[in-house]
Structure formats: C-alpha cells, structure tokens
Chains A and B, each alone.
Chain A
Amino acid sequence: MTNLDQFESAFKSSDKAIYTFNRPRFARVLVVTDLNATGLSGFTEQIRSYLAVIDGDQVQWDALTADDFQSVQEVLEQIEKRKPDLIVTYRHLKSNAWQWPYSLGEYLDVMTQATAVPVLVVPHPDAGRAHSHSLVNTDRVMAITDHLTGDDALVNMAIGFTATNGTCWLSHVEDQGIFERYMDTIAKIPQLNTDTARETIAGQLLKEPTDYVAACQAEILAQDVPVKMERVVVMGKRIIEYREIIEKHKIDLLVFHTKTADHLAMNGAAYPLAVGLRQIPLLMI
C-alpha cells in the first residue's frame, strides 16, 4: 500500500530551486593597500586589467594608500564613507606576516566580517606566490560551496566576474566526513537499512545541486549570457577537493561565502580556504 510519506517525499523532491540571473553591478570599487602612491598606480592598473569584465566608464575607482589609515577602525570608517560595491585588497596589510602563510592579517579579518561588501583578495604583491595565470584575466572562475542549491547570489557573482566567453565552474563538495559520521550512526540503528540509507541519502545530497546547476545552465542559455558553465558536484574532503579542482582547471578566481548569520567568524571551510589558497585571487562575499 502506498503511504503518505512516500508521496510527500516525491513531491518535495520534485520541487526544484529556480535560478534567476541578475548581473551584479559595481559602481564604486575601493582598492585598499599599504602601498605608496607610486606602487598603488601599478597595482590598480593591474587589478583593472584583471577585472576588465566589470570595469567600464561608469565604474569609479577609489584607493587607500598606506598613509590613508593607521588602524582597522580607520579602514572601516573609510569604507563607510566611500560606500564601495567591491573592495580589492590583499592579506597582511601593514605587516610582514605575509611571509608566513598562516593567517589573513587583522585588516582583512575584520573587513570580511564587519562589512557587507564583497572583498576581492589578491595575492600579496611582495610574496611572489601567485600562479602565472593569476591576475591576468578572469577566464576561469569557480564558485565553491557546500550548499549550492538556491544560492543565486553566489552564482550571479561568479558569472558576473567571468570574462566574456570564459568558463564558470559551479562546485558543490559534500563533506564526506560528516556523511560518514551519520552513516556510522545509521549502521547502529536496526530499524534503518544501512545500504539503502547510504545509497539514497548520498544520491539525494548530490542530486539537488546537480539539478540546480542544470537550472542555472538553462537560465544563462535563455538569457544569452556569453559564459560556459561547468558542474563539479562530488562528495569528498572539502579543502583537498577544492585544491585539486583549482589546480586541475587553472582557476583564475575563486568565489565563496565567508559570512555567517551572526557575522562573528568566517563560515565552514571559508577560513582555511582564505588562509591556504594564496596563489589565486579570492572573491569573498
């Protein structure tokens, strides 16, 4: 006999997240550096060339040099005053700690949490860790998350930064560790069939983001957006998977969420990514 839960599950499963494309607009970009005026000019030029896809006559570029601020508070005040739509900066402003790849530096740490503005973090100009393809263009952009379904904001941002005729990867890595922990628990419950649970839960966890990427692909095709979209939906260890994908596809820009609901700390895998991935630019939204 059919049961209630069976059909309710079927209908809930058929309820798919719809994607709506909205190109993000950046009227004001603020470059926050600890360079002097001479260094700033070359740096800004490089950034504008790299971000050609969002640049244009209507975009106003502002910059802070080393002399414009002496503390985190002053940077936040400048951001509040200039109201940028995008901040471009790098790790370890006004510090030599960039030599040791174990933190972000106090300025960036606060900026990513205390403001609602997306922050583009580029490799430190002095560190020499950038890949050869970094800061050249944004032909290959990847959005990463552990919950892609319905995240229009992340996808829009990734597409918005992808150069014309470039490729945008939408990546969803389901945490293998968490999954195995639940499977271990299920294995100890006699009422639940472990094999069925493993197969169906894994399938459903990956099906939802897969369906969402299909919806995104259909939408950008319908909207005639000149971007090729690729899908990476897997189960694995997040940081390791991301590193492999970045290396494999020579990603020019990584886009991910950093903010938690309470804005107290970076979410999930964001902090280790922000600290560890120093070779390519990161767009932290």
Chain B
Amino acid sequence: MHSVPPYVTYLFATLLVAMIFCLALEEKLHAKKSVITGAFAAVSLLLAAVFGLVHPETVILLGHPIRLPVYIPGVDWEVIAIILGSSLFVDVTSKCGLFTWIAIKLTKASGGDPLRLLIFYGVMTVVFSAVLNNVTAMIIVGSLSSVSLAKLRMTDKLLGFLLVEGLLTNVGGMLTLISSVPNIIVGNAAGISFVDFFLKASPYVVVATAVTIFMGARLFRITSLKEEAAKSQAAQLVAGFDENDGIESAGFFRFGTVMTALFIVAMASVSVTPFIRDLGMGYVALAFALIMLVRYKSTADRFYQAMDWDLLAFFGCLFIVINMMEHALVLELIGDGLKPILGLGETTGAGVLLFASAIASSVTDNIPLATMLAKILGTMDMAADSPFWWAVIFGANLGGNITPIGSASTLVAVTIIHKNKLPMSFAGFVKIAVPFAVVQLLLAVGYLLTILR
C-alpha cells in the first residue's frame, strides 16, 4: 500500500461526504445523480492526478500494449453489465404482457375483496421486486392498485395499499442476488452465489412480508367484505378486467414467459454452468436482453432510448469516486472507524452494523453505502458466510423503508400517492413507515443472529 499524507486523505474524505450530502439533496439541487457523481468523479480524478495517487498503466491485451485510462479499471463492469442487461431484458419482456397478465389474473382471483387484494398485491410486489427490480415492481403494482381500487370505488384505501406495497418492495428486493443493486454489489464482493443468497434470504422475506401485510391491514383498517351483495358487486366489477388485453401476440407472450423462467434459471446456475461461469451474470443478463430484442429488431433503438442512462452513468461515476477514495486511503480510514463496531464480534457487531447501515441508507442513496462497505469488508478478507455481509445487505435494503427518499421504489410509491392527489408529507411518511421499518429491522437482526450466524 502506498503512503498518502493525512491531509490528502481528509481532503478526499471531505469530497466523499460532500457527494453523499449532495445525493441526499438531489431533489433540492434539481440535479440528476449522474451529474452529481460525475462532477465529483472529475474532481476526484484531477486531485488524484495532482497528488500523484494514480498513474496511467499500460496493459497487454492479446499481445497489444494498451494505455488504459485510470478511470477504467475502477469501474465494476460486471455490476454495470448486470444492471444494463437486466433492465433491458425486463423492459422488452414487459411488452409481451406477462406481468400485466399476472397482475390482472390476481386481481380477478381476489374477487375484489380488499383484504385478499392487499395480500395478493403484497405478495406480487415481493415477487416482482425479486424477479424484476423494486422500481418496476412498484410501478406495476402501484398503478394497478390505483386503477383497480378506483374501479371498486375504494380509493379511500389506496394510501394504505401504496404504502404497504412501497415498504414491501425493499423486502422483496432482498430475495435474490439480482433483486437490488446493493445485493449485486455486496453479493459479488462477498462471493455469495445466486442459490446460496436465495436460500438464506427467502425465509426472512417470507416472514417480513407476512408481518408487513398484517400490520398494514390493521393500521389502515383493510378488512374483508362482509355482506353478500357487496361481495357480489365487487366480484362483478373486477371481472371487467381483461388479462389478455395487453397481449399483442400469443406467441410472444409464451416466448416472454419461457424466457423469464429461463432467465431466472440461468442466473441461478451461473456459478455451476461450464463456460458461462467464466463469463459471469452480466453476460447472461446482456445475452437474454439481446435475445428478447430480436423480437423488436427493427425498432430496438426505442428500447435503448428508454434506458435509464442516468442510473448507469451514476454507477460508472460512483465506482470511479470510490476507487479514488481507495487510492486516497479514505476507505481505510472508514474501515478503521468501523473496526470498533466489527470488534464487537459477529453477534453485537453485526447487529450494530445492520442498524447503522439502515440509518445511513434512510437519508442517502444505499448504493454508495453498499459499494463503500463492500470494498471495506472485502479488504478485511471476510468469509462469504460472515454475518457482516448480510448485515450490510439487510441494512442497506431495509433502511430505504424509513424515509421516502431512502429508496427509489418508496419514492415511486410517494409519486403515485401524489399523482392520486392523496396527502402525504415527508414527516407523514416517516411517522407511518418507522413502526414497519423498526419491526422489519428487529426481525432482520433476530434472523441474522439466530439463523445466519
């Protein structure tokens, strides 16, 4: 490890704090994440060059010497490939009508009963968050909730539905390795396989889902219909939904369904599939996206235009900033600060780290936090089954449930709430969400210390 003067480390640490602060105030600054992190990446790179922390390297690729810019190796391209490929795959697959078909089928199966609808939508939110991503899940289930409750003339229950769904996106986001970005980053750094991640996370997700729905039903007084006439009317109203309306082609629908199943299987078996294990999950995600794009080969550019380039550029720039922080020994400094916590041992230490991660993620983006902690824990040679990795995963995901800015999906939930002209302030959200988040975090600590340790 090279030596860095302390004042340089503190200068970079100040930059890191400033970036996190700016990201927390993203809305106030009217600046996109990619622009904020991009600006800090540019400044960090310049300062790193000025202080001689980084030097351009020449690498030999297939016998050719290539001068590699310092910001290229700092980016975790596997993570970028997974996010790019998965987003594109989900976007194209959603055109086949599979997700709307499932959503409407469940709505009809509920018979329009509010409690059954809450349970079905809650479970659907968790599953969609796990298979797709939590933002898409919230968009699908949230928009269906507003349409179906309006049809059932139960808009007074919409606020409760949207809040429960928003809180469940972050629970569902813990089900698989690819369900959320912190999972991908921490899972990759820890070397946790897709199957292992699922087996360890799923029992908690099941319990937390059931508890969240139960609490939501009690708090928002969502109960079953009692009278036969009301039941019959509700069933008739939801019967008007046509699950086949969004299916443009039966063939593409079947193809999309099969490909979604294969995508999950392929992702789950990357580590044991010959050749594919060398290419990684990013390759699988991109390959599946490409196969789906064949259906829209002449208009594929529409999907490229629709990609969230802000998010991808944000990741790219964030990795550069974190890499520069590593060179400036800022991560080592934070690691030293974390040592007292980690020194508390795998029981108390993991519990404290979980709560600390949750509180930090509740006020700022959980991705920089996960990236930073993954780097720090990685340098400490933590075993893949160490509870500290899981403490970061649980904390980074569930912290998003404390405030509306804690995660992108809760922000989407609040957007839908405001779109439907329902009153919901920042403080109002926190007041309702905190009891849910505390229960979910306590369950997580209990699970971490009894089952995962």
Residues of A whose CB lies within 8 Å of any CB of B are 1-4, 7-8, 10-18, 211
Cβ of A199 to closest chain B Cβ, rounded Å: 14
Instruction: Please determine whether B100 and A16 come into contact, CB atoms closer than 8 angstroms.
Output: no
Task: Give the complex CA separation of A13 and B247 in angstroms.
Answer: 12
B307 interfacial contact with A, CB 8 Å: yes
Contact indicator B240/A16 (Cβ below 8 Å)? yes
Q: Mark B82-100, 1 if CB is under 8 A from A, else 0.
A: 0000010011001000001
In residues 284-330 of chain B, which contact A (Cβ within 8 Å)? 306-308, 311
Contacts of B103 in A (CB 8 A): 11
Residues of A near B147 (CB, < 8 A) are: 8, 11-12, 15
Q: Which of the residues B90, B136, B245, B308 comes within 8 Å of A16, measured between beta carbons? A: B245
19 contacts between A and B (CB under 8 A): A1-B91, A1-B306, A1-B308, A2-B90, A2-B94, A2-B136, A4-B139, A4-B142, A4-B415, A7-B143, A10-B246, A11-B143, A13-B246, A14-B243, A15-B147, A15-B240, A16-B240, A16-B242, A211-B245
Complex alpha-carbon distance, A2 and B245, angstroms: 18
Which residues of chain A have C-beta atoms less than 8 A from B240's C-beta?
15-18
Check if B348 is an interface residue, CB within 8 A of chain A.
Answer: no
Tell me whether chain B's interface is mostly helix, strand or loop, or mixed: helix
Known A1-B306, A8-B146, A8-B147; contact A14-B104, beta-carbon cutoff 8 A: yes
Closest A-B pairs by Cβ, 7 of them: A14-B245, A8-B143, A1-B308, A11-B147, A7-B143, A18-B240, A10-B246
- B419 in the interface, Cβ–Cβ < 8 Å? yes
Q: Which residues of B contact A10 (CB under 8 A)?
A: 100, 245-246
Cβ–Cβ < 8 Å partners of B135 in chain A? 1
Tell me the complex Cα distance, A17–B144, Å. 17
Question: Which residues in B have their C-beta under 8 angstroms from that of A16?
Answer: 240-242, 245
Q: How far is the CB of B141 from chain A (nearest CB, A)?
A: 9
Q: Considering only CB atoms and an 8 Å cut-off, how many residues of chain B contact the other chain?
A: 34
Write the chain B residue with the least CB distance to A150: B240
Q: Are B148 and A18 in contact (CB under 8 A)?
A: no
B104/A11 in contact, CB under 8 A: yes
* Separation of A276 and B416 alpha carbons in the complex (Å): 50
Most chain B C-beta atoms within 10 Å of own C-beta, residue among A1, A10, A18 = A1
Q: List the interface of chain B (C-beta within 8 A of A).
A: 87, 90-91, 94, 100, 103-104, 135-136, 139-140, 142-144, 146-148, 151, 236, 239-243, 245-246, 306-308, 311, 412, 415-416, 419
Does B104 contact A18, Cβ atoms closer than 8 Å? no
Cβ-closest chain B residue relative to A11: B147
Main secondary structure of the interface of A (DSSP, over half): helix
Q: Are B87 and A11 in contact (CB under 8 A)?
A: no
Cα A1 to Cα B139 in complex, Å, equals 11
Question: Taking A3-B139, A4-B415, A4-B419 as contacts, is the C-beta distance between A11 and B100 under 8 angstroms?
Answer: yes
A3 to B143, CA, bound (A): 10
In whole angstroms, what is the CA distance A62 to B308 when docked?
A: 72
Query: What's the Cα separation between A8 and B135 when bound, in Å?
Result: 14
Chain A nearest Cβ from B420, distance in angstroms:
10
- Interface centre among B94, B242, B419, by most A CB within 10 Å? B242
- Look across to chain A and name the residue whose beta carbon is closest to the beta carbon of B246: A10
Q: Which residues of the partner chain B approach A2 to less than 8 Å between Cβ atoms?
A: 90-91, 94, 136, 139-140
The CA of A8 and the CA of B246, in the complex, are separated in Å by 12
Kindly provide the distance from the CB of B80 to the nearest chain A CB, expressed in whole angstroms: 15
* Cα distance, A135 to B239, chains bound together (Å): 40
Residues of B close to A211: CB separation below 8 A: 242, 245
CA distance A12 to B148 in the complex (A): 9
B110 → chain A closest CB, angstroms: 14
State in angstroms the CA–CA spacing of A211 and B307 once bound together: 33
Q: Which of B139, B246, B419 contacts A14 (CB 8 A)?
A: B246
Q: Which residue of A lies closest to B141 (CB)?
A: A7
Closest to B142 in A: A4
Q: Cβ of B104: which chain A residues have Cβ within 8 Å of it?
A: 11, 14
What's the nearest-Cβ distance from chain B to residue A204, in Å?
A: 11
A14 to B243, alpha carbons, bound, how many Å?
7
- With A7-B100, A8-B147, A11-B148 already in contact, the answer to whether A1 and B87 are too (CB < 8 A) is yes
Please give me the residue from chain B that is nearest to A2 by CB atom.
Answer: B136
Complex CA–CA separation, A17 to B103 (angstroms): 19
B140: chain A residues at CB < 8 Å are 2, 7
In Å, the complex CA distance between A12 and B242 comes to: 10
Across the interface, name the chain A residue whose C-beta is closest to B97.
A10
B144 and A7 contacting across the interface, CB-CB below 8 Å: yes
Known: A2-B139, A4-B143, A4-B416. A15 touches B246 (CB 8 A): no
